[in-house]
Amino acid sequence: MTVAIPEVSREQLDKYGGPAPRYTSYPTALDWRDDVRPTAYPGMLHLATRFDDPLSLYVHIPFCERRCLFCGCNVAVTRDRSRGDVFMSGIERELETLRQSGIGRRPLSQVHWGGGTPTWLTEGQTVRLHDAIRATFGIVQGAEVAIEVDPRVTTGERVRLLAGLGFDRISM
C-alpha cells in the first residue's frame, strides 16, 4: 500500500513551524503574569459572576501509573491511590469556593479532565470528582465532556463508566 504524503508549502512551514505554547496549558503560558496574587482570586470570581455565558472547566489530575515518554506535563508517577483521596479533598474545597462565589450558576459548555492520567483515579474517585463538579455547575445539553486517557492502563470497564458519566470524547 502506498500512502501519498501531501506537499508542505513554505508558507505553511513559516506559519506552523515555530515554537508555540503547549496545548495542555490554559491559559497558555504566554498569558500568565507574575502580578496576579492569590488575594485577587475572590475579586476575579466575583467579577465572573456578573456574566451569564457558559464556562469551560479544565481539571488537571496530576497522577500517572507510568510516565509517557512524550509528556511534558506536571505529573506525579505513583501507584499509591490514597493520594487521589487527598487530591479529591482539595478539589472539593475549591469547588465549594466556586459554589459560594456564585459562579456555579453559570453552566459549563466544555469539561475536560487532563493531566497526568485522569483514569489513574479509582472508579470511586472518578465518580466522586464527577459528582462534585455536577453539584457545583450545570452542564449544558450537547456540552463537550472530554478526558485524557493512557490506553496502557485504561480498561474497557473504565471506558464504559466514563461513557455512563457523560464523557463523549477521549484523547490518548
Q: Higher pLDDT residue, 48 or 88?
A: 88
> CA dihedral in degrees (35, 40, 43, 45; nearest 10)?
90
Q: How far apart are CA 166 and CA 145, in angstroms?
A: 7
Write the single-letter amino acid at 75.
V
Tens of pLDDT, residue by residue over 119-168, are 899 999 999 999 999 999 999 999 999 999 888 888 999 999 999 999 99
Q: Cell 456555579 belongs to which residue?
A: 104
Tens of pLDDT, residue by residue over 67-100, are 877 677 778 888 899 999 999 999 999 999 999 9
pLDDT at 36 over 90: no
Write the single-letter amino acid at 110.
Q
In the predicted model, what is the mean pLDDT of residues 12-32?
64
- Output the nine-digit C-alpha cell for 77: 508517577
pLDDT value of residue 133: 97
Tens of pLDDT, residue by residue over 99-122, are 999 998 999 999 999 888 898 999
SS3 of 57, please?
strand
82 Cβ contact partners less than 8 Å away, ≥ 6 residues apart: none
Q: How far is the CA of 48 from the CAs of 43, 54, 91, 105, 166, in angstroms?
A: 9, 11, 20, 11, 26
